[in-house]
Amino acid sequence: MFKKIFFVTALLLASLLSAKPVVIASIAPVGYLAKAVGGDKIEVQSLAKGDVHSFEPKPNDMKAVAKASLFIAAGLEFEEAWIPRFKASAKNLVVVQSDAKIAKLKEEHSGHDEEHGEHETKDDKHSGHSAKDKHADHEAKDKHSEHAKHDEKHEAHEEHDEEHEAHADPHVWLNPVLAITMARNISDALIAMDKANKDFYLKNFQKLMNDLLAFDESAKNELAGLKNRKFVVYHPAWGYFAEHYDLEQISIERNGKEPKIDEMASTVKMIKDENIKVIFADPNRSQKSAQVLASQTGAKVELLDPLGYNLLENLKIAVRAIKDANSPK
């Protein structure tokens, strides 16, 4: 009997010792970055799915957070209200802002009546840290120093005034260079949590960075020859992507709401005038207005998901879709 109790206790202890740290990512693409860096050393769960603007955690979400060691935030509105509650339910929870050190675009609210490239800090097109690392280990491994030149320019912009932050566009992960900054922030947090596996995390970060930079070069080449550089979306999630590739995002949604009748009429005219052939809808949101506009203009509706888990593949899909939509048939 004693041997049996000892054996069961030993198994339980071994199980506890071998348990992987639980990492909760605010959204799926951030979960992808975390898993790419953390590999099999961590267990990653993504929290918000669907329309993150109206997200509220369910009881099962709260249970998952209570067991987590790390919460990776992405600068989303719902996080402001819920992170204090997450911390209250998980006393040892560490919160990392994956979007730290990234200067934000203003969120588009008024469709094609606003310039898509209006920036809170306009002196640097790429914004944020790009691909430079203050961590000595990262610097030694970073072969793409040309992407590192943007870091120092934005040190003065780390603190934004509250009015601007309230309207900041959170979709930074859709720019691959900014996604590298997010991955680096995640890597630093994992190393701080688990120093024994530092080299493992650094190696995985390096691979992810190289994959994203390779994609970025390919995407620039694919999109370089487009004469029509405008694309129409329902929800203005692709501002960082558009800015990075010198495209113009035109939004149907106005101030987070369905457009009014007069706004729809002006959008119909613009689509016809600009010879727009594709309207990109968001699978996480209503597609009604996109379908109405398509029926009135002869354009077709296609889906682009800003919250898809596999970020790298999702960016490739976006490049192909926008290139096809704007190429002569």
For strands 22-27 and 70-73, give the pairing: parallel
Of the candidates 238, 223, 262, 93, the one whose C-alpha atom is nearest the C-alpha of residue 178 is 238
Distances (CA, A) of 198 to 137, 146, 296: 10, 25, 56
**DSSP H stretches of helix in 173-306:** 176-193, 198-223, 239-244, 261-273, 288-297
What amino acid is encoded at 82 in this protein? W
Cα 11 to Cα 259: distance, rounded to the nearest angstrom: 60
Distance of alpha carbon 127 from alpha carbon 105, whole angstroms: 9
- The number of helices, as runs of H, and strands, as runs of E, in the chain is 12, 8
329 residues of the chain, pLDDT tens digit each: 555 555 545 444 444 444 899 999 999 999 999 999 999 999 999 999 877 877 999 999 999 999 999 999 999 999 999 999 999 988 899 999 999 999 999 876 434 434 333 444 333 334 434 444 444 344 434 444 444 444 444 443 444 334 434 478 999 999 999 999 999 999 999 999 999 999 999 999 999 999 999 999 999 999 999 999 999 999 999 999 999 999 999 999 877 778 888 888 999 999 999 999 999 999 998 888 899 999 999 999 999 999 999 999 999 999 999 999 999 87
pTM of the entire predicted model: 0.80
Distant-in-sequence, close-in-space partners of 194: CB < 8 Å, separation ≥ 6: 21, 41, 201
DSSP 64-126: HHHT-SEEEE-S-HHHHHHHHHHHHH-TT-EEEETTTT-PPBBPP-BGGGS-TT-BSSTT-SS
Tell me, what DSSP letter sits at residue 3? H
Dihedral sign for Cα atoms in the order 53, 54, 57, 58: negative
Helix, strand or coil, per DSSP, at residue 285: coil
